[in-house]
Every structure is written in C-alpha cells, then in structure tokens.
C-alpha cells in the first residue's frame, strides 16, 4: 500500500467562519485578524512576518503587531534563532481541553478500543465540519504500524467512507459537500455530483459506506453513522490496506453497526 506523506495542504479546506467580529468595531475586527493569523499555521509549521502579512493581505507592521500579541498570550511562539513563528503551547493546552471535554469522544473511546482489538485495524471517530470530516479520535492499528499518523485529521467528505456515511443521514453535511464540489485526491475519489448522489443513495439502502483508493491509493475504509434522532452526528470507521479491508467488509459491517448503536444509545440516554 502506498500511503501519501502528511499532506497539510488539505487543512486549507477548513471553512472560513465569518460572524459579528468582521462587521463590528475595530477592536473586534482585530480579534478576527488574530484568528486569521492562527489559521495561517494550519498549513505550515513555521512562518515569518512577511509570510503572514502576505497571506492576510496586510502591512508587515500589522502582522508583526498581531504576532507579538499572540506570543504574549502563548498562542504563538517565536524561534529565538531564526525569528520564525510557530503555534505555541497554549494552543495545545486548549486543544487537549476541547478533546477531554468532548462527551461523544469520551463515550466512544471504550467502544473504539473494542473494535480495534476485534479487527486489528485503525479505528476512527469522525465528525462533520462543513464539507469536511474531522477525525477527533484515532486508534492506530494493533501491530504498531502508523498508517496515517497525524495526516488526514481533516479530509473532504467525498474522500472518506465516514463522509459518505454522515452525508447519507445529515442533509446539512450533504449540501455542504455538493456546494464545495468534488476535487480528486486519489484514483477512487468521487468526482461528480452524479457519482455522489449514487453513492449516498447506496449508503442509505445498505446502512454503511465503503471507500477504496479514495483518500489514499492502496487504502480502504468502512464506516457507519452514529445517529441522534435519526440524524448523523458522527461516524465510526475502520481503515487499512485494501487487502485487509476488502475481503472482510461483510464481517466488519455488523461489528461497526453494533458498535455505533452502542455509542448512539449511550450518548442520547
């Protein structure tokens, strides 16, 4: 199986969120600008002042002022040797708090561990975010081979079985993907609205989604939706090389459905 190296460019699909801060006074606009600075680091480990200024379309002095403010609050740190900036430790702290306080992840983890032990495959918990899927938890395959690592934490929904499983039972996610289009990523990626509609109809009929060579050539996944009042709020999936997934789909599907139902019942009770 040929797995692509970490492809941070796909983080660029993070949806831009515009709210009152972009339409209010200068103080609130500065908050929006500071958040835009943080978004710059989604695709690069380190950036200089000129890099940030160019991406934001602002003066270097403005970029420097924003970066300096973020440094003082621990959201960004500066390398004393190179002068380059990177995300700071406080971002990590807040991210960990967000994960620890995520009730769905907390409920799903024990079930995911059972699926991982039963299958020996990488197990993912995905949630919809606009036209994409964000994998908020991942348990690597049991033999210790890190297939994905930190790559693929956010992927376009049409490139994943998780995205298909969620879109089949979440009309908002479905519309978002249709609006965003279907750029190809691997040889098996859905590439047109007609193909997407066909896949979604199949998922609704069969109750699960399968992807082959859709996000990475040589890799497959199987996913089922986690439902709340018949609406998909997340997905549970297994991921691995084609030769490990394809022959086992009939065995994996009932296991995943049972696991997803347990998560759904615990979450909604």
pLDDT digits (tens, 9 = 90+) for 199-242: 999 999 999 999 999 998 999 999 999 999 999 999 999 999 99
Where does the pLDDT of residue 149 fall: very low under 50, low under 70, confident under 90, or very high at 90 and above?
low
Each domain of the chain, given as residue ranges in start order, spans 8-95, 102-268
Q: What is the pLDDT of residue 79?
A: 95
Identify the residue with better confidence: 32 or 64.
64
Q: What is the mean pLDDT of residues 158-179?
A: 97
pLDDT digits (tens, 9 = 90+) for 249-258: 999 999 999 9
CATH hierarchy code of domain 8-95: 1.10.10.10
Residue 145 CB contacts under 8 Å (≥ 6 apart), including other chains: none
Q: What is the pLDDT of residue 32?
A: 87
DSSP code at position 84: -
DSSP code at position 47: B
Which of these ranges, 15-19, 126-130, 216-220, 252-256, has the smallest mean pLDDT? 15-19
DSSP 8-30: GGGGGGSPP---GGGTS-HHHHH
What is the spatial distance between Cα 9 and Cα 82, in angstroms, rounded to a whole number? 24
Q: The CATH number of 102-268 is which of 3.30.70.1520, 3.40.50.970, 3.40.50.300, 3.30.450.40? A: 3.30.450.40
Q: What is the pLDDT of residue 43?
A: 81
């Amino acid at each position: 199986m040929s797995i692509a190296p970490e492809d941070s460019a796909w983080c660029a699909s993070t949806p831009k969120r515009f709210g009152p801060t972009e339409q209010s006074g200068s103080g609130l606009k500065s908050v929006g600008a500071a958040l835009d600075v943080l978004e710059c680091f989604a695709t690069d480990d380190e950036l200089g002042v000129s890099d940030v200024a160019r991406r934001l379309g602002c003066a270097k002095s403005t970029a420097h002022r924003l970066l300096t403010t973020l440094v003082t609050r621990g959201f960004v740190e500066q390398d004393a040797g190179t002068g380059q900036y990177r995300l700071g430790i406080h971002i990590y702290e807040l991210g960990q708090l967000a994960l620890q306080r995520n009730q769905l992840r907390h409920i799903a983890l024990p079930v995911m561990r059972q699926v991982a032990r039963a299958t020996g495959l990488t197990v993912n918990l995905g949630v919809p975010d606009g036209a994409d899927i964000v994998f908020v938890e991942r348990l690597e395959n049991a033999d210790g081979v890190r297939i994905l690592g930190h790559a693929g934490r956010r992927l376009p929904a049409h490139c994943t079985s998780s995205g298909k499983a969620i879109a089949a039972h979440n009309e908002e996610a479905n519309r978002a993907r249709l609006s965003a289009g279907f750029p190809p990523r691997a040889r098996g990626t859905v590439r047109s609205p007609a193909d997407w509609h066909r896949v979604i109809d199949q998922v609704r009929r069969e109750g699960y989604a399968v992807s082959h060579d859709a996000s990475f050539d040589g890799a497959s996944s199987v996913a089922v939706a986690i439902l709340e009042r018949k609406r998909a709020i997340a997905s549970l999936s297994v991921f691995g090389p084609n030769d490990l997934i394809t022959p086992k789909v009939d065995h994996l599907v009932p296991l995943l459905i049972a696991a997803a139902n347990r998560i759904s019942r615990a979450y909604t009770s």
